[in-house]
Chain A
Amino acid sequence: MERNPMRRQLAIMRQSLFDQGHVDEQFVQLEELQDDANPNFVEEVVTLYYRDSARIILNIEQALERKPFDFRKLDAYMHQFKGSSSSIGAKKVKAESTLFREYCKSGNGEGCMRSFQQLKKEYATLRKKLGTYFQLARQAGPVETASRPK
């Protein structure tokens, strides 16, 4: 059936997300929470994450524009960001957050800036990949239900 190739593609895409280290075990937890009652749970959570974390990213950016750096504040923001990121299983983003916090703790402004740039990159990459992934998932349709006319 048409969905099979799609489903297969979806599975491959999903696997690469894990293999490339973009997402971790937590992502699986999200998937497990998805069910008939909550058919798009993963996408919902991820969407919410990107919406909410955009605010934190902005805060951090603004904070990085003020010199000297308020490391305490930066660390607080990043702590928050890290919490959200880890909730959706964003592995690389989370790792970069940890690094950023290390720099904050040691007062390394340069390190913070570098790390933040990297973090934003990972953040954007993940968003793109997940976006594609969800789109495909929608197209592939839910496994159990009958295919919906496209």
Chain B
Amino acid sequence: MTVEQIVSEGKDQFPIGMRVLAVDDDPTCLLLLGTLLRRCQYHVTTTSQAKTALKMLRENKNKFDLVISDVHMPDMDGFKLLEHVGLEMDLPVIMLSANGDTKLVMKGITHGACDYLLKPVRIEELQNIWQHVVRRKKKDRCNSGSKDKPHPDSGEAAGIGNVDNNGKLNKKRKDQNEDEDDERDENGHDNEDPSAQKKPRVVWSVELHRKFVAAVNQLGIDKAVPKKILELMNVEKLTRENVASHLQKFRLYLKRISCVANQQANMAAALGTADSAYLRMGSLNGLGNFHTLAGSDQLHNAAFRSFPPSGVLGRLNTPAGLGIRGLPSPGTIQLGHVQNSGNPTNDLSKLQSFVPGNHNTNILQGMPMSLELDRLQHNKNVGHIGELPTTDSMTVFPGSGNLVDARITGFSNNQLLGVTSNSLMLEGSSQQATSHTSVSAIGFQNGNALSDFTSIAPASNQLQDSKAGSQGQASPINCNAGQIIRSAPQEWNAPRKDAPYQSHASINSSIPINGAMIQLGQCLDRNNSIFHRTTDLDSVGPLNFVDPLSIKHSEGDNSIMEPSVIEKEGYLMFQPRPHGSHVPDNIGSLEDLASAMMKQADATVIL
């Protein structure tokens, strides 16, 4: 018999010979499950480690037809595995658990499981699981016909958003608006999304990520659920599972960011590639960046583009010119310029206006992404931060007037800040919309950025003025970031008191993003020692990033505002995420941060 014959015979006998991968940390259950499956005449591979399972799946996507996994596993949560598999391999996954709580079952389904079985599992139940394979194959075929998601809201929202951008802290609108902008810019991107033909493998391009972040920001990091994000994003052929998985990564990313506080990383990410992006970001120097950013779609896009899953940062970069890049440039003020300047007024609304108008604000937008990342808990999303609206202006905070102060709090050079700030900003804007003076440039790290941020954060003129102004400004971002970050959003508001740092502080604290916060501080302060406090970063303690930030920014006199801010506020930005490892505390330079971040991102990506 030739191989083909055997193979074809196997296929014809489906479901006999269906290849199943069974994952369960409990050896008793695994043995039982494996035996049961074999009794059903499936071809079974068992493993007790989720990581091993993923590895096997990644090695050869076509090796398995179906995955059955336990929910509670020590090395990786079953739902997480579920999302990964769904996102990367698009295989049907069945969840298995001794716990049949409705909530859990619901969670399984929303995460994309095609079935949820209770232990002890019976052979009768296993005899029919092949149906899921067939069903999925069928769905994939149908999917190729393009998923047209009617997004009636998007269009309207976009329109409204535009109008609202100025002054209307309509987060949603803002996001929509941002999205619209993004869409315009990245129409191509959407098209680039791999058509969901059969195994739709979604590539999270910068644009896509930007939209994602915008959507998340709009919803608020706490309330961002895949379904809504999906609706907001309005991208064809994007499944809820894609979004869910991405969201998870994003959250992790945010978390990592805050830990890492690699502004540079963020910036780099924004710049485009997770790796090189960081470096690139540096080059952007606030000023220069801004210019480029402002209005340069490419920049944004480029930034994002290169940002692979962690591209968030990349996005930020673009607008980031804001600060993330290499802030060393005195460009901070540039931000102001970039911004559209007009906004520099303190109102958050200003920021908002930034957003729509100022491309600068985009940076902020990107930020929320980072916040999101935090949620995702993937550091890899560092890039997300970048995603912040690179769109040219500091629109960092889409709409959420919070930016009011546009304190670019973190914008000090640290790109990270940009990134984080973005997230922060975004968050801040949307969430905070209030007191935060506009997320001042959350990430806009460049010390200059501060100034830049300020511009971003409509918050205040401060931004406009050059760095000094940014001091106060920074807060907005922080605030926002905080919100986004989910972390003590309130904190953000609080920081305001200190003005420059306040925002930082708030952002920092709020921003769960590990790195994000720090960066902000850094960024903001670059040149203007607005954040004098930065020095305190160290004291911040949990925030590892603080240190690096401070170090980095020390380029200028910008003390890493963040650190100090953080301390004061107590927020210390990023929720003390013990991700110390992410950010080398002593990153002396942004580059270090960037690389650190990148590593983190890489690590995260690797999973």
Task: List residues of chain A with CB under 8 Å of any chain B CB.
Answer: 26, 29-30, 32-33, 38, 41, 44-45, 48-49, 52-53, 76, 79-80, 82-84, 86-89
**Contact between A84 and B99, CB atoms less than 8 A apart:** no
A89 to B120, alpha carbons, bound, how many Å?
8
Binding site for A on B (CB under 8 A): 26-29, 31-32, 35-36, 39, 72, 97-99, 119-120, 122-123
Q: Which of A76, A80, A82, A87 contacts B32 (CB 8 A)?
A: A87
Instruction: Please determine whether A87 and B122 come into contact, CB atoms closer than 8 angstroms.
Output: no
* CB-CB nearest in chain A for B96: A83
Q: A29-B123, A45-B31 are in contact. Are A84 and B39 (CB under 8 A)?
A: no
Could you tell me if B119 and A86 are in contact, using CB atoms closer than 8 angstroms?
yes
> What 7 pairs between A and B have smallest CB-CB spacing?
A83-B98, A49-B28, A84-B28, A87-B120, A86-B120, A26-B120, A87-B29
Whether A80 and B72, one on each chain, are in contact in the complex, defined by CB atoms closer than 8 angstroms, is yes
Residue of B27, B32, B36, B123 with most partner-chain A CB within 10 A: B32
- Residue with the greatest number of chain B CB neighbours at <10 A, chosen from A44, A76, A83: A83
Bound-complex Cα distance A32 to B97 (A): 22
CA distance A85 to B39 in the complex (A): 21
- Known contacts: A80-B72, A83-B119. The answer to whether A38 contacts B26 by CB under 8 A is no
CA distance A32 to B122 in the complex (A): 11
| A84 CB contacts on chain B under 8 angstroms | 26, 28-29
Select from chain B the residue with minimum beta-carbon distance to A44: B31
Least CB separation from B39: chain A residue? A33
- The distance from the CB of A24 to the nearest CB of chain B, in whole angstroms, is 9
Min CB distance B281 to A, Å, is 42
Contact call A52/B35, Cβ cutoff below 8 A = no
Bound Cα distance A76, B28 (Å): 17
Given A45-B32, A48-B27, A49-B28, is A79 in contact with B72 using a C-beta cutoff of 8 Å? Answer: yes
Would you call B32 and A30 a contact (CB within 8 A)? yes
Residues B98 and A48 in contact, CB atoms below 8 Å apart: no
Instruction: Report yes or no: B36 in contact with A82, Cβ–Cβ below 8 A.
Output: no
Tell which of B35, B39, B98 touches A79, judged by Cβ atoms closer than 8 Å. B98
Asked whether, in the complex, the Cβ of A87 is within 8 Å of the Cβ of B28, the reply is: yes
- In angstroms, Cα B39 to Cα A59, docked, is 34
Question: 20 A-B contacts, Cβ less than 8 Å apart?
Answer: A29-B36, A29-B120, A29-B123, A33-B32, A33-B35, A45-B32, A48-B28, A49-B28, A52-B28, A76-B72, A80-B72, A82-B98, A83-B26, A83-B29, A83-B119, A86-B119, A87-B28, A87-B32, A88-B28, A89-B120
